[in-house]
């Protein structure tokens, strides 16, 4: 992973401004959102970033998000276990919006890891694609009939071309093209069912190809060629947020120092403006916070223009006399800037000294805590799902525990039993962490002082 992050940093190149990320309606206050998928969703990273963005950008929208991914899942598996997987695991949340990304397992990689493309193998590949077509259509119908508005995501890519030294040598030749077929089908589903559409496959595939032209060892996913790390997941989250057309401005704190008046501020309330020697001071309350990107995902900022497109927090002060000004917020220095730069606007979104950044960093920490808990809960769901699919009883807690204990001893089984015993408390904690993220993002008034040096 360390080599991957170094490569990402070294090969920095933003995605094209012409990239088509799709189009989907944003989430609204009161929405309950379920993210349905396989292990890439189960991992909980890309949608955790989306949740974090909504908490910091729209703290007035109370939205509940649920991870409904299970490693190894397929559309056909979900529709063959409607009792548990569909109705209890997904629809019991009563989602108002559902996001579906499937396909990575549906293509059946075994059929792409063969020495020759025999007629029998080609037939199996087509049968898998046909089954994906049929069961995705049924899944979309079932979720829609339950009252949820849908956003469909084309599957993330399978990287069979990276030359990363530790990349898996068990390669599914033609697997990525098969996922491209799934992406085409998802596009058709979106038109047929009038759903939102987010293009992960297309945007990630383009980015991967461009970067591999510079260094063949680059990969936007991981060494196993399937699972993106924090960087790849952030790229995915960016694509999702772009498809939703969300506003790029955190706020514009704009003051005319000479007139001592607000100068068309955006997403902020400014008052109590007065002179401070040759400078100025005022109070400002922003509608939202800048989003602090988790350290492990920061190299993604060289791959996608998230800061430029989605995270601008501008301090713009006109009417100052020429010279340099020391800027402090709530008495804490954040930097020194020339009057000319302040007149044009200084982006303070990544300034770690601001109280807004520090407040948002606490939200980031809470997001990571919630994502980790979500993965723990999903691990138990995966075990119960497996019991159901094997003909056992994964629904009754006592029966599930008995069947888990009957398995060979392992840390995973011990963890599943521990989670089962604490399930109600952990599910409550999962919701409380969501509420905490929103509460921690609430706007706070700050006092600005610009003192001439």
For residues 268 and 286, give the distance between their C-alpha atoms in angstroms, rounded to a whole number.
4
pLDDT per residue over 119-165, tens digit each? 999 999 999 999 999 999 999 999 999 999 999 999 999 999 999 99
pLDDT per residue over 60-110, tens digit each? 999 999 999 999 999 999 999 999 999 999 999 999 999 999 999 999 999
> Pick from 175, 351, 321: which is nearest to 253 by CA?
351
Tokens of 172: 């599914």
Alpha helices in 146-199 (DSSP H): 175-193
> Pick from 207, 110, 113: which is nearest to 169 by CA?
113
Tokens of 84: 């548990």
Mean pLDDT of 269-288: 96
> What's the order of all strands across the beta sheet hosting 149-154?
22-23, 196-199, 149-154, 97-101, 32-37, 64-69
Which is more confident, 13 or 257?
Answer: 257
The pLDDT score that the predictor gives to residue 6 is 37
Contact at 8 Å (CB) between 193 and 132? no
DSSP type of residue 11: T
**Assigned CATH class of 2-243:** alpha beta
Q: What is the CA radius of gyration of the chain?
A: 24
> What's the order of all strands across the beta sheet hosting 261-262?
261-262, 249-256, 312-318, 346-347
The number of residues making up the chain comes to 453
* Phi and psi torsions of 392, nearest 5°: -90, -170
The domain limits of the chain are 2-243, 249-355+442-452, 359-440
* E-strand stretches of 237-286: 249-256, 261-262, 268-276, 279-286
Contact at 8 Å (CB) between 227 and 299? no
Contact at 8 Å (CB) between 264 and 232? no
In which residue are the tokens 């952990």 written?
426
The pLDDT score that the predictor gives to residue 19 is 82
The pLDDT score that the predictor gives to residue 13 is 46
């Amino acid at each position: 992973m360390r080599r991957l992050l170094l490569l990402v940093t070294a090969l920095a190149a933003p995605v094209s401004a012409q990239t088509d990320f799709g189009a989907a309606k944003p989430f609204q206050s009161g929405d309950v959102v379920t993210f349905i998928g396989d292990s890439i969703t189960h991992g909980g990273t890309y949608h955790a970033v989306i949740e974090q963005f909504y908490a910091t950008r729209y703290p007035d929208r109370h939205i509940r998000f649920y991870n409904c991914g299970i490693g190894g899942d397929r559309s056909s598996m979900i529709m063959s276990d409607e009792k548990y997987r569909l109705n209890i695991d997904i629809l019991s949340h009563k989602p108002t919006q559902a996001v579906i990304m499937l396909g990575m397992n549906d293509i059946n990689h075994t059929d792409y890891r063969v020495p020759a493309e025999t007629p029998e193998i080609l037939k199996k590949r087509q049968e898998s694609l046909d089954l994906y077509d049929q069961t995705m259509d049924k899944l979309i119908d079932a979720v829609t009939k339950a009252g949820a508005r849908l956003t469909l995501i084309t599957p993330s890519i399978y990287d069979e071309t990276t030359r990363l030294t530790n990349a898996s040598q068990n390669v599914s030749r033609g697997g990525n093209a098969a996922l491209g077929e799934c992406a085409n089908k998802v596009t058709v589903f979106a038109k047929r069912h009038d759903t939102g559409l987010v293009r992960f496959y297309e945007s990630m595939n383009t980015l991967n190809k461009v970067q591999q032209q510079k260094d063949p060892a680059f990969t936007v996913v991981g060494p196993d060629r399937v699972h993106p790390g924090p960087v790849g997941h952030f790229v995915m989250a960016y694509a999702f947020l772009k498809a939703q057309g969300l506003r790029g401005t955190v706020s514009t704190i704009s003051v005319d120092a000479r007139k001592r008046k607000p100068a068309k501020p955006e997403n902020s309330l400014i008052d109590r403006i007065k002179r401070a020697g040759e400078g100025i001071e005022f109070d400002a309350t922003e509608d939202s916070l800048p989003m602090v990107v988790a350290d492990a995902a920061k190299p993604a900022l060289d791959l996608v223009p998230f800061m430029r497109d989605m995270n601008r927090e501008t301090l713009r002060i006109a009417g100052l006399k020429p010279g340099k000004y020391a800027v402090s917020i709530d008495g804490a220095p954040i930097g020194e800037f020339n009057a000319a730069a302040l007149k044009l606007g200084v982006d303070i979104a990544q300034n770690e000294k601001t109280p807004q950044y520090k407040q948002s960093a606490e939200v980031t920490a809470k997001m990571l805590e919630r994502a980790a808990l979500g993965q723990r809960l999903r691990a138990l769901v995966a075990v119960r799902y497996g019991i159901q699919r094997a003909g056992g009883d994964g629904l009754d807690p006592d029966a599930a525990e008995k069947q888990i204990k009957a398995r060979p001893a392992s840390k995973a089984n011990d963890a599943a039993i521990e989670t089962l015993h604490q399930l109600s408390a952990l599910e409550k904690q999962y919701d409380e962490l969501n509420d905490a993220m929103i509460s921690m993002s609430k706007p706070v008034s700050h006092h600005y002082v610009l003192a001439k040096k």
